[in-house]
Amino acid sequence: MKIPLIKPYITDEVKDEVLKVLDSGFLTEGEQTRALEEAVGQYLNVSHVVAVCNCTLGLEMALRALGIGSGDEVIVPDYTYPATASVVNIVGADIVLVDVNPSNMLIDYDVIEKAITPKTKAILPVSLFGCPLDYTRLDALKKKYGIYVIEDAACSLGVKSQNQFAGSLADISVFSLHPRKFITTGEGGLVTTNKPNLAHWMNSYKHFGIGESESREKTAFVQIGTNYKLSNIQAAVGLVQMKHINKLLESRIQLAKNYKRMLLGVEGISLPEYPENGRHSFQSFCIFVEDRNRIMERLRSKGIEVQIGTYSLHMHPAFYNNQKCRVSGSVKGSEYAYHHCLTLPMYYGMTEEIQNQVVHHLVKEL
């Protein structure tokens, strides 16, 4: 028995579109990349989409676009993948780690305000595992303190908060197209904003600083930039998948309903809280268990690929040995999630019978 954590949606249609790109001879960023940006923009109802080579660089570019750097502070949840916080240091700013709510593993809105100082320039919340953020709370903080919100929406394509898509609510949002995501290009990212000045700057920055020429020359480099382009080959994969996003998303939501029905009330298992005023994408389906590591190893030994949720950053030397990183307040919620969260397999084409096998072996190990 081998039950994977996730399977990328790679069909003959995807392969055909990739072969068309290969046969065209135009492999770098071009027509397919533009089409992917347009498709995502239409789906999310957002004005500007900038495709980049991965989500981490997209987050870094977002910080640079907002002028965040040395002397600034950015508030980041402690329970997240290191990339969310690392980019803050990479642009020269200081990381301020705050706790998460253990019931849903999202940033604890009640502790954000206590972490704000005159140096705070942005909050960088994570819609973790595809769980929507509370923009009523975030917007109130943004207006009160005059700070930015950058959403790490790595897992959140298709997520809705109060009937609006993630990607259209923050100053800048950044999505991942990594193979763990149900829309994937292998590696890749999408940066979204409704602010044309930010989109213009980011498009220039990712294309070596190119801009509008003020002379007769057709090409002018107006700022120092770099190369964060997403190739046509990769974009062709994601473009096909975007045609089927509703089908893929509906499948994940149904699989999550199945798991919840099977696991609700099982002694030794608790489920995260799910928002009533939003749509979860269930990029990952997570549960809380005691003795998580033992259960994880036992299930893996049976061919069932399970995984931890993510990491408590304050427990890692890159952050606790870092003079440009501080922890604000208690991080007990983050520690609880780190030690108890277990991610179960979920992929398009997974049957209820396979889910029953996962649950059967999981319950035996409790």
Residues 108-120 have pLDDT tens digits of 999 999 999 999 9
| Cβ atoms < 10 Å from Cβ of 98 | 28
Mean pLDDT of 220-234: 96
Helices first, then strands: H and E counts in the chain: 13, 17
Mean pLDDT of 222-238: 97
The pLDDT of residue 217 is 64
For residue 139, give the amino acid letter: D
- pTM for the model: 0.97
The pLDDT of residue 215 is 59
Separation of CA 21 from chain center: 27
Quick check: 233 and 36 in contact, CB under 8 A? Answer: no
Nearest Cα to 40, choosing from 205, 158, 212?
158
CA distance 269 to 30: 48
Mean pLDDT of 138-165: 97
The pLDDT of residue 214 is 59
The pLDDT of residue 265 is above 90: yes
Residues above pLDDT 70, as percent of the chain: 98
The pLDDT of residue 270 is 97
**CATH 3.30.300.20 corresponds to the domain 1-366:** no
Mean pLDDT of 283-301: 98
* 55-110: pLDDT as tens digits: 999 999 999 999 999 999 999 999 999 999 999 999 999 999 999 999 999 999 99
